[in-house]
Structure 1
């Protein structure tokens, strides 16, 4: 067993399973997907640490255990079409082991190229990397059954919610309060959403997902 493979196994056994991740598809995916392949070289040694990693200032990826719980919250079926909004392609690679079709929306071409190289080096053939604004989503492949936002949100734009089909779900980390929570927004008929809060978590709000606050006036 290679050192990276052993680190992945240890990550699953010491971080993922003890965090109430019971979906064996997720633990199996995290055992085989090389997280370091989706990160800048300077972060490779920290790929399996239980911490948020900063890609560049203002851009982060969730700790593996938080990401695993967030994906589990989405309850992805093997027939689902999923949009994964992230600062790296790792989350999409995990989701691609669960879903039928995955679109990875990434912030720039360099990140997308890194993800494509990692996708091509694996057996994954159901995930594509695209580049665009996180808050705008990727309407070209909509509607989606699931949208996974790997990051913080204070509010979710209506234009992104519109990319979910009726009955679809969006999961993210709500950072609008002092105590952040993972949330699930379940789309009902007529564009109405039911909200469910889950575990506590913190994350850096993604661009376009912050609330507009009135300017201070003297």
Structure 2
């Protein structure tokens, strides 16, 4: 398998057509190598438009969804990020490449250990992965960006309060089978604006109020 050809095809055939047009984000996908965050038997699949299984039974996001998150957040190098859900560490690595520091809250010890190992093996030093349930953990820091890497009925107010003014929160909100990616921005000390971005499907966030399969 020609890894670089597969990466090029992923970017040009999956990611760019999904409205990821920021050249810095596209260039980052060449530098931060996705295959390095998967085991040997999955490396050839790392460029496919599919959710690959993780050790705890959950699944990694698709490449185009990870890239779209970076596109929408428009991170700056001095900014700090909170990521809820470690996955295999790749999304954290992408965020860390664009931001000053990333804090990850992960409730699965298997995924926490996997992410820490992958980040260390790829020399990513500006990420802390904390074993915690983000929806019950009393975490008091504030951030310039927050990403919730799973579906939920609504964004907890406590997480909105952890946004700095001008901060952005990206979440997947609604009811299965289709959720809406939302970008919430704190415009002042008390006001938060919401913009719907696109529809997608992601697994429910662990620890969040369950996302219903049905509506009344």
Which segment is superposed worse, 153-162 or 143-152? 153-162
1:171 offset after TM fit, Å? 0.2
Question: Following TM superposition, by how much is the alpha carbon of 1:196 offset from its aligned partner in structure 2, in angstroms?
Answer: 0.6
Q: Match of 1:27?
A: 26
- For residues 6 and 107 of structure 2, the distance between their equivalents in structure 1, rounded to whole angstroms, comes to 28
The residue aligned with 2:150 is 151
Q: Which residue of the partner structure matches residue 97 of structure 1? A: 97
1:103-142 matched pairs, under 5 angstroms: 103-136=103-136, 139=139, 142=141
Q: Is the 8 A contact 1:61 1:150 kept in 2?
A: no
Distance 1:138 1:148, change over 3 A: farther
Distance 1:114 1:178, change over 3 A: closer
- Which residue of structure 1 aligns with residue 205 of structure 2? 206
Structure 1 spans left out of the alignment, 5+ residues: 214-218
Displacement of 1:57 after TM fit?
7.2
* CA distance 1:168–1:37, shift in 2 (3 Å): same
Change (3 A) 1:138 1:67: farther
Distance (whole Å) between structure 1 residues aligned to residue 136 and residue 2 of structure 2: 39
Q: TM-score, normalised by structure 1?
A: 0.83
Residue-by-residue CA offset, 1:32-57 (whole Å, 9 max, x unaligned): 32323334555444221101233267
1:117-151, CA deviations, whole angstroms, 9 ceiling, x for partnerless residues? 222233432222222113246726x2100001222
Aligned equivalents of 1:83 and 1:24: distance in 2?
24
The runs of 5 or more residues in structure 2 that have no matched partner are none
Q: Structure 1, residues 20-74: CA drift from partner, whole Å, max 9, x if none? A: 1112222122213232333455544422110123326762322111221122111
- SS where residue 55 of structure 1 aligns? coil
Report which stretch shifted further, 69-78 or 122-131.
122-131
Secondary structure at 1:53 match in 2? coil
> 1:35-184 alignment to 2 at 5 Å?
35-39=34-38, 43-55=42-54, 59-86=58-85, 87-136=87-136, 139=139, 142-176=141-175, 179-184=178-183
Q: Which runs of 4+ in 1 moved over 6 A?
A: none
CA contact (8 A) 1:25 1:98 kept: no
What is the DSSP-based 3-state SS (H/G/I as helix, E as strand, rest coil) of the residue aligned with 2:13?
helix
How much has 1:91 moved relative to structure 2? Answer: 0.5
The DSSP-based 3-state class of the residue aligned with 1:128 is strand
Taking the aligned partners of 2:154 and 2:49, their CA distance within structure 1 comes to 27
Q: Assess, with a 3 A threshold, how the Cα gap between structure 1 residues 83 and 204 changes in structure 2: closer, same or farther.
A: same
